[in-house]
Chain A
Amino acid sequence: MNMAGLIDNLSRFLGAIGGFLTPMALFHMAWATLLGIIIGALPGLTATMGIALITTLTYKLPPDLAILVLICVYVGAIYGGSRTAILINIPGTPANAATTLDGFPLAMQGLAGRAMGVATSGSVLGSFIGMFFLATIAPILGNYALKFQSFEFFWLSIFGIVISGHLTALEDQIKGWISGFLGLLVAMVGQEGIHAYERFTYGTTELLGGFALIPAMVGAFGFAEVLSVMRNPPAKRAEAPRDSVFPKASDVLQYWRTIIRSGLIGTLIGIIPGVGEDIGAWVSYAAARRKSKEREKFGKGSIEGLMAAETGNNAVVPGAIIPALTLAIPGSAPAAVLLAAMFIHGLRPGPLIMVESPQFVYQVVAMVFFATLAIFFYGVGLSKPLLKVLAIPKTRLMPIVFVLCAVGSYAITNRTFDIWVMIGFGILGYILREMKYPMAPLVLGIILGDLMDKNLRRGLVLTDGDLTPFFTRPICFVLWVITFSSILLSISPIRHALKETFSIIQTRLRRIRK
């Protein structure tokens, strides 16, 4: 990028910042971030569920304010989950699971306030690092994506499903892939996009347009979560920390390397389709532990470990928005709802974004910027009062959440059918989750189904059935090699054989050197 381009982008960003400095935008920012933090802090309410439910409230808002609200909820929820992770050892959202490892031991040592301060500084800095890359990578990726043809889009969708399935079901990858392909199958229902033939509709007019994404997501992440929370015994009550929650500059300065590394890892994990914040936090945590000089403290109350987890998960947020904006492929489950909301509001994310509305990319950067400032403000100023919300019993909260699930599903097209879709996906989601099938690949599959369908057939028509371009074009080559490697490496005999081969090569190389 040349100097003129850089100045141009900076002025667009500053223009976007200025555009949001209105009382109405600031009001929406304030309530949405606060609500996001509360949603994140309450165990059982996830960021995905929060964004899906709040999308309903944004239907009549102008598109820029609607997306601002949703991004504030997103950033707030991922940060808010750290509160419960630290205080009661229960991650508020799955993204904060790694936070419990060191956050809770710190709270047990009477350092809950300091831990919350570390989580605040980590989350803020992680968001800023991710935001920097959102501002710099998204325009480049957007321009590059203009060169993509059907072959690349087909592989991108398969790559997304396989990698998302692999990384979200590390114990049993096949379940991740099954989840993803089931999502693709769900997307096949309805009129297909080339000849308008009705697939799997059985004469039902309601199914002509396929399953709407928002009711499906509200079901899989909302109703399924309500069922899951009610099945589990009640959680412990959180007590307010006694020490200061104000972030310490010394913690940031001491672990600046960990912060930058975790920010980079988080952003990268965010860019990978359908992987998400939880994996971002775990990978950042593992990397910090490997590189740390105080490795023995990890798991016993390490500030560095906590910083890595919280920087990593919040850096995923802007990272996950990058492919959502430029390729219309979400980097995480919450980004999938955000993407759906963008389409609902008439925005057209995808490769043409930098041609049609480059300003929108910088508006999104500005939204992340404001949301990050807001979490800092709430983290420092309102951490202790916010904990009172955690005292609400789940028996009183969950029926209200379900009422919102029903409204959220209905309001998009005013069809009772969508309420049944929500119920169906809720039950399916609950069963799949109980059997350890991850939800993110399922959602990604529903989104990518249409993309894969059109591009596989278009590609085959273009080449008259010749599969060579699907494997030989440079980007296709990289994508299929990664996809197949991921599958092959998860087959244990192959993995063991490769390990043995590498160890034999290593030993021989050592002998030769000697």
Chain B
Amino acid sequence: MPRADFITGLGLILLSLYVIVESWRMPRLEHLKIHPLSAPGIVPAFIGGVLLIFGLILTLRSIKQKGYRIKITGRGLRELLAHSGNQRLLLTAILSIGYAGFLIGNLSYGLATGLYIFLFITLFEWKQETMLRQRWKGLMMAIIIAMISSVAITLVFERLFLVTLP
């Protein structure tokens, strides 16, 4: 954790400095004859100042715990990617961002949703089963769940609760 805190601390310092500078650059709206203490930059600057203090504390604390010793090696990265949990995380993120960010809007909603659910179930469950018969059974199940879910979600949201779908 000290290493993560060190990086976060530095990130916070940079962010807060950026916020303070941006707040300072915000107009004081003198031409509107407003009270100078109601200028738009006052509160963001205050928040930036507080975050700067927190960032400094976090960084100094992590330096004390030797958090600055960060080594990025090819082996370390390979180990990180080989971890089954991280693989599952990455696959989930890719599938989900791909669905919400790109499939929706480019395909019809029902089709995009069905495709996403099918791919998600198949890609995760295919590896879990070792028997070919079980895998085919899983595949059929994924198709059925994908079809039922996309139809049910479309009907429930659009017809029953009158919600506009993407």
Interface residues, chain A, CB within 8 Å of chain B? 56-61, 174, 177-178, 181-182, 184-185, 188, 192, 194-195, 197, 199-200, 223, 226-227, 230-233, 393, 395-396, 398-400, 402-407, 410-411, 414, 416, 419-420, 422-423, 427, 435-436, 452-453, 456-458, 460-461, 464-465
- The answer to whether residues A403 and B113 also contact, given A195-B29, A411-B163 and a CB cut-off of 8 A, is yes
Closest B residue to A445 using CB positions? B47
Q: Which residues of A contact B99 (CB under 8 A)?
A: 402-403, 406
Known pairs A181-B51, A223-B96, A396-B121 / 18 extra A-B pairs, C-beta < 8 Å: A56-B161, A58-B161, A178-B51, A182-B51, A185-B48, A231-B88, A398-B120, A400-B149, A402-B99, A403-B149, A403-B150, A406-B99, A407-B166, A410-B104, A419-B100, A420-B101, A423-B96, A461-B35
CA distance A396 to B122 in the complex (A): 9
Contact among A59, A195, A223, A400 for B161, CB-based, below 8 A:
A59
- The answer to whether residues A436 and B157 also contact, given A395-B124, A411-B164 and a CB cut-off of 8 A, is no
Q: Which residues of B contact A57 (CB under 8 A)?
A: 156-157, 161, 163
Interface residues, chain B, CB within 8 Å of chain A? 1, 4-5, 8, 12, 19, 22, 26-27, 29, 32, 34-35, 37-40, 42-44, 46-48, 50-51, 54, 57-58, 85-86, 88-89, 91-93, 95-97, 99-101, 104-105, 113, 116-117, 120-121, 124-125, 128, 145, 149-150, 153, 156-157, 161-166
Ranked nearest first, the 5 interchain pairs of A and B with the lowest CB-CB distance are: A399-B120, A460-B37, A197-B40, A395-B124, A230-B92
How far apart are B80's CB and chain A's nearest CB, in angstroms? 12
Report whether A403 and B116 are in contact in the complex, using a CB–CB cutoff of 8 Å: yes
Report whether B85 and A435 are in contact in the complex, using a CB–CB cutoff of 8 Å: no
Report whether B96 and A402 are in contact in the complex, using a CB–CB cutoff of 8 Å: yes
Q: Which residues of B contact A423 (CB under 8 A)?
A: 96-97, 100-101
Q: Which residues of A contact B150 (CB under 8 A)?
A: 403
Contact among A192, A231, A399, A453 for B86, CB-based, below 8 A:
A231
Report whether A194 and B121 are in contact in the complex, using a CB–CB cutoff of 8 Å: no
Closest A residue to B153 using CB positions? A403
Report whether A197 and B27 are in contact in the complex, using a CB–CB cutoff of 8 Å: yes
- The answer to whether residues A399 and B157 also contact, given A178-B54, A185-B19 and a CB cut-off of 8 A, is no
CA distance A411 to B19 in the complex (A): 32
Contact among B92, B113, B120, B124 for A227, CB-based, below 8 A:
B92
How far apart are A85's CB and chain B's nearest CB, in angstroms? 23
Report whether A188 and B1 are in contact in the complex, using a CB–CB cutoff of 8 Å: no
Report whether A195 and B40 are in contact in the complex, using a CB–CB cutoff of 8 Å: yes
- The answer to whether residues A56 and B120 also contact, given A406-B166, A435-B4 and a CB cut-off of 8 A, is no
Q: Which residues of B contact A56 (CB under 8 A)?
A: 157, 161, 163
Q: Could you jot down 11 A-B contacts, CB within 8 Å? A: A59-B163, A178-B12, A185-B19, A188-B47, A403-B99, A403-B113, A411-B157, A414-B164, A423-B97, A452-B43, A460-B42
CA distance A94 to B101 in the complex (A): 30
CA distance A395 to B105 in the complex (A): 25
CA distance A471 to B22 in the complex (A): 29
Report whether A185 and B38 are in contact in the complex, using a CB–CB cutoff of 8 Å: no
Report whether A230 and B88 are in contact in the complex, using a CB–CB cutoff of 8 Å: yes
Report whether A406 and B8 are in contact in the complex, using a CB–CB cutoff of 8 Å: no
Report whether A399 and B40 are in contact in the complex, using a CB–CB cutoff of 8 Å: no
CA distance A185 to B19 in the complex (A): 9
Q: Which residues of B contact A419 (CB under 8 A)?
A: 100-101, 104, 166
CA distance A231 to B89 in the complex (A): 5
Q: Which residues of A contact B22 (CB under 8 A)?
A: 200
Report whether B51 and A185 are in contact in the complex, using a CB–CB cutoff of 8 Å: yes
Q: Which residues of B contact A414 (CB under 8 A)?
A: 164
Contact among B38, B113, B117, B164 for A458, CB-based, below 8 A:
B38
How far apart are A228's CB and chain B's nearest CB, in angstroms? 8
CA distance A400 to B93 in the complex (A): 14
CA distance A423 to B96 in the complex (A): 9
Q: Which residues of A contact B93 (CB under 8 A)?
A: 227, 427
How far apart are A223's CB and chain B's nearest CB, in angstroms? 7
Report whether B117 and A407 are in contact in the complex, using a CB–CB cutoff of 8 Å: no
Q: Which residues of A contact B1 (CB under 8 A)?
A: 435-436
Closest A residue to B27 using CB positions? A197
Report whether A230 and B89 are in contact in the complex, using a CB–CB cutoff of 8 Å: yes
CA distance A460 to B39 in the complex (A): 11
